Amino acid sequence: MGEPSINVGGSVGGSIIGGDARNVSSHVRDVSAVINKLPASPETENPGIKELLVQLTAAIEVEPNLSEDDKQEALEQVKALAEAGKNPDEGEMKKRAKGATTMLKGMIFGLPKAANLVEEYSKLLPFITKIFGLG
């Protein structure tokens, strides 16, 4: 009896140059697509979940103190908030929102206090948690 053989096939492709930036841009597009499905707030001076998450996404995207991997992880949490925002009163969605806000807090409050994202998140968090009845 001969030795069993294993054949592995396939291909790997992609660009190393600028790969991370493209991934963040791709994540931003994915998150924006989910956010855009949320209803806009009827009151211009009282932002809803859609407007709050648009602001948070923009702040994450331009934060120089976050690595590309951290930006992608933060955007995943914003996406979870957007998905939960479709039905913010449902128990499972509240749980999902609580997990996402906790994860974001951990990432963001590890940044220097002068970071724009820390300031932005501190302003937005009370409104986001209120929408989900977490505050």
pLDDT in tens, 67-93: 999 999 999 999 999 999 999 999 999
Question: Which residue, among 135, 104, 134, has the nearest Cα to 121 in the 3D structure?
Answer: 104
pLDDT grade for 1, boundaries at 50, 70 and 90: low
Q: Indicate whether 20 pLDDT > 90.
A: no
Q: Phi, psi at residue 111, to the nearest 5°?
A: -85, 160
Q: Average pLDDT, stretch 49-53?
A: 97
pLDDT grade for 27, boundaries at 50, 70 and 90: confident
* Contact of 131 with 88, CB cutoff 8 Å: yes
Give the pLDDT of residue 15: 32
The 3-state DSSP class for residue 24 equals helix
- Give Cα separations from 11 to 6, 36, 49 (angstroms): 17, 35, 42
Give the pLDDT of residue 32: 93
Give the pLDDT of residue 13: 34
Q: Average pLDDT, stretch 19-42?
A: 83
pLDDT grade for 17, boundaries at 50, 70 and 90: very low
Lowest model confidence (mean pLDDT) among 7-11, 119-123, 126-130? 7-11
